[in-house]
Structure 1
Amino acid sequence: MTTSIQRAANAETVAAAKLLLSQMGIAPADLVTVAIPVPTFAEVVPQVRATLAAGTRGTYGAALNRLETQWRDRRLDEVSKPDLDEMTQAVQAVSRVNRASRGGTSAAEHFVSAVRCVYRYAEDHGWIRPSDNPARRLSIPARQRSHRYAIPTQQLTEICQVTATTGDDPELDSLILRLHIETACRRSGALALRPHDLDPDMCLIYLREKDATERWQPVSPTLMRHLLAHAAERHSPQSGRLLRYRNGKPITSRRYDHLWQRIGEVLPWVASRGITAHWLRHTTLTWVERTFSYAVAREYAGHRGKTHGTTATYVKAHLHEVAAALAVLTREPHPLAPAYQPASAASAH
């Protein structure tokens, strides 16, 4: 009797559950969870790498390689936060040390960002639940203050003189330096520059830099002439890289490494301080900020977002103001700043 009553009650419960599910538009089969196998790092990292832009792929390259090789056969759900913390500390400890380094914090920051990118990809594909994602609990190391500063005028002159009088291609190297000094562009922006990014009429170049930022940047008529001549003489394709060796091959970041190594051999203080092209960015932007304003320097640098406070939203500078700063810096008139003529230009650097 008891068994019959229990069976009847169970049948009623099942019937009620089916009725409720049908009213909710849910089939009983939908409640059956099929376990999705979690892939290994060797399987996931190449997929993540293929989704990244070239600049991001370069930034995360070392970190992704480390994950792919050291944890090749480990599944993503087999790694804990302590495991990631330990590897982050190892990355920071073995990072390259020079005068410009800041204790490996940059390498550790890139590693954490790369790990988050991998696990975010895993979340999007349903391999890892957000609550089980160890990368969400990782902390990015606090950045130390940069050791870079504006290069004094006399020392900048020495750098330019060594560049123009040494090496196997001083013409190329001098063009690279002038490009960085005038535009304060990053190395990635110079390497990505293409002939069809040049606007000779308005003396503008189109820069593509990190975080997918893109902008038009004023250049002097002199620099524009040299860029056009370089592209023509070295047969740079309109949609290919502009800066090239004499044999027509595009330069890479290695050209920068060799350039500053050569300058450091002649000027020991360049080597001892770890000076690179990024110091030229500091130099130009410092001059623009001191001579014009913070807003103009921010626009000159191509900085975006609200990292410097909400006020930056209201005190934005415009392209014509950047062109005016360039005209004073180079002592050349610019099409976008006709009021700034060489006769009235202030001394730059």
Structure 2
Amino acid sequence: MTVDPRRVAAAHALLAQLGVSVEDLQAAPAEVPAMPTVAQYLPRVQAAASPSSCRTYGTYWARMVQAWGDWPLDTVAATDVEALQRDCAASALRRANGRGGRHAGENVISAARAFFTRAIADGFIAVGASPAHQVSKPRRLPSHRRALTARELADINTVARTSGNDVVLDALLLRLHTETACRRGGALALRLIDLDVRQGLVRLREKGETLRWQPITLDLAARLLEHAAARGAALPGDQLLRFRNGSGLTSRRYDQMWKRIGQRLPWVAAQNVSTHWLRHTTLTWVERNFSYGIARAYAGHTDNTGPATTTYIKADLQAVATALAALTGQPHPLATTLEELGFRG
């Protein structure tokens, strides 16, 4: 049989476009890896995820395995994800501040998206084929949290200092969160090495793997150091905040503290006031009395979501220290004058 040279040339041109050589065609075909099931693939996703992601999504990944454990990754459809979302929302624990399971529904979509994004990166499913990204998240409702009034904050502090089995610890916690506007996780992660008594600073590790130095009053810095020393913190890596028996503080102390305060102040229980309300209170005050940029820095916000101008609205450590000094009425070694910050009387 005579081979047409033009067809040979066309075949070579096509192979060149495909990036395939004649030798590739003659070689033994590569073995295509088998498509893993959801249960088989989850350990790889967990190994690649950060500790915070595992904490946030772990429950929902377990629900995915329960629902689709023996399904190959490429057989999960958007309808299956949406059905799981509704099931998680319906079975979510009902709390005083609940939103009908909306938070659980939002989290399961985020967890599924993280799972299938990893499957795309590993080449198991095609880009754009993630079933989780084809399901819309529930619209996030406005938060019911607000800034506390000066009287409300004073009442909360009074109750914390006059009730409970460790009023020193509770008073210290309220003061730390009021001065820094930090989250519970930031306070719980504090170590002895994170306290700079001379400069009046604490190093906060919070969500999103953020790390920053936050000004505190010199008086609070001294109290924190005394607290740590009295309760057994000696090594640089020892947890800073501790119970009276020397063990490290846990999040349960916050729950117990607010439950006790709510029993004595009914409006605290009715409105489900929590530590995060202190963050709202401080940041609202800073924004009203200084600027949006300084409030962003005070909060430790590093994202650029929102208007493009947020990229340029920044403040430094000195500006945050100046706001703290005004808030507490105590001088701070890093604070500057309002004129130096650009404020004019």
Same fold (TM over 0.5): yes
Per-residue deviation at 1:47?
2.6
Residue 64 (str. 1) matches residue 66 (str. 2): no
- Maintained 8 Å contact 1:100/1:275: no
2:87 to 90, 99, 102: 90
Maintained 8 Å contact 1:234/1:246:
yes
Is structure 2 residue 222 aligned with structure 1 residue 225?
A: yes
Deviation at 1:339, TM superposition (A): 4.2
Query: Cα deviations across residues 290-341 of structure 1 (Å, max 9, x unaligned)?
Result: 111111111111112222311222232221111011001111110011548x
**Residue 115 (1) aligns with residue 115 (2):** no
Q: Does 1:251 align with 2:249?
A: yes
Which of 199, 203, 211 is the matching residue for 1:202? Answer: 199
Q: For residue 192 of structure 1, what is the aligned residue in structure 2? A: 189
1:320 partnered with 2:293? no
Render the CA deviation track for 1:127-158: whole Å, top value 9, x for unaligned: 22224321221222211111000111111111
Moved more, 36-45 or 314-323: 36-45
Candidates 67, 71, 75, aligned match of 2:72: 75
Query: Structure 1 stretch 166-175 or stretch 179-188: which is displaced more?
Result: 166-175
Cα shift at 1:19:
8.5
| Cross-structure match for 1:288 | 286
Structure 2 stretches lacking a partner, 5+ long: 339-345
- CA separation of 1:96/1:29 partners in 2, compared to 1, >3 Å: closer, same or farther? farther
Matched letter for residue 301 of structure 2: H
Q: Distance in 1 between matches of 2:32 and 2:284?
A: 57
2:303 aligned to 292, 299, 305, which one? 305
Does the 8 A contact of 2:319 with 2:336 survive in 1? no
1:184–1:284 Cα contact (<8 Å) kept: yes
Residue 180 of structure 2 is matched in structure 1 by: 183
Q: CA deviation at 1:207?
A: 0.9
The share of aligned pairs that are identical, in percent, is 45
- The aligned residue for residue 171 of structure 1 is 168
What does the per-residue CA deviation read over 1:252-303, in whole Å, with 9 as the maximum and x for residues that have no partner?
Answer: 2222222211211222211111111111111111111111111111111111
- Residue 274 of structure 1 corresponds to which residue in structure 2? 272
User: Residue 208 of structure 2 aligns to which amino acid in structure 1?
Assistant: D
What is the deviation of 1:99? 4.0
Give the whole-Å Cα distance in 1 for the aligned partners of 2:75 and 2:313.
49
Deviation at 1:164, TM superposition (A): 1.5
1:36/1:156 CA distance change after superposition, 3 Å: same
The answer (yes or no) to whether the contact 2:199–2:218 under 8 Å persists in 1 is no
SS of equivalent residue, structure 1 residue 232: helix
What is the rounded CA distance, in whole Å, between the counterparts of 1:195 and 1:29 in structure 2? 65
SS at match of 2:203: strand
Aligned equivalent of 2:335: 337
Native 8 Å contact 1:285 1:301 kept in 2: yes
Query: Alignment length, in residue pairs?
Result: 334
Task: Note if contact 1:206-1:215 (Cα within 8 Å) is conserved in structure 2.
Answer: yes
**Cα drift, residue 14 of structure 1:** 7.3
What TM-score, normalized to structure 2? 0.88
Distance 1:179 1:78, change over 3 A: same
Partner of 2:343: none
2:43 aligned residue: 46
CA–CA distance in structure 1, aligned partners of residues 42 and 203 of structure 2: 32
Q: Are 2:201 and 2:215, in contact at CA under 8 Å, matched by a contact in 1?
A: yes
Amino acid of the structure 2 residue aligned with 1:326: L
Q: Residues of 2 paired with 1:19 and 1:313: CA distance?
A: 49
Could you tell which deviates more after superposition, 165-174 or 214-223? 165-174
Change (3 A) 1:218 1:314: same
The answer to whether the aligner puts 1:146 opposite 2:138 as a matched pair is: no
Query: Paired residue for 1:158, among 155, 158, 168?
Result: 155
Is 1:136 the counterpart of 2:133? The answer is: yes
In the alignment, the residues of structure 2 paired with residue 308 and residue 274 of structure 1 have an alpha-carbon distance, to the nearest angstrom, of 29
The unaligned stretches of length 5 or more in structure 1 are: 341-349
Query: Where does residue 341 of structure 2 map in the other structure?
Result: none
8 Å contact kept, 2:318–2:336: no
Q: More displaced, 46-55 or 26-35? A: 26-35
Q: 1:305 to 1:38 in 2, by over 3 A?
A: same
Q: 8 Å contact 2:161–2:171 — kept in the other structure?
A: yes
Contact 1:21 1:28 in 2 (8 A): no
Mean alpha-carbon deviation: is it higher for 211-220 or for 71-80? 71-80
Q: Distance in 1 between matches of 2:198 and 2:267?
A: 40
> How far apart are residue 29 of structure 1 and its match?
5.8
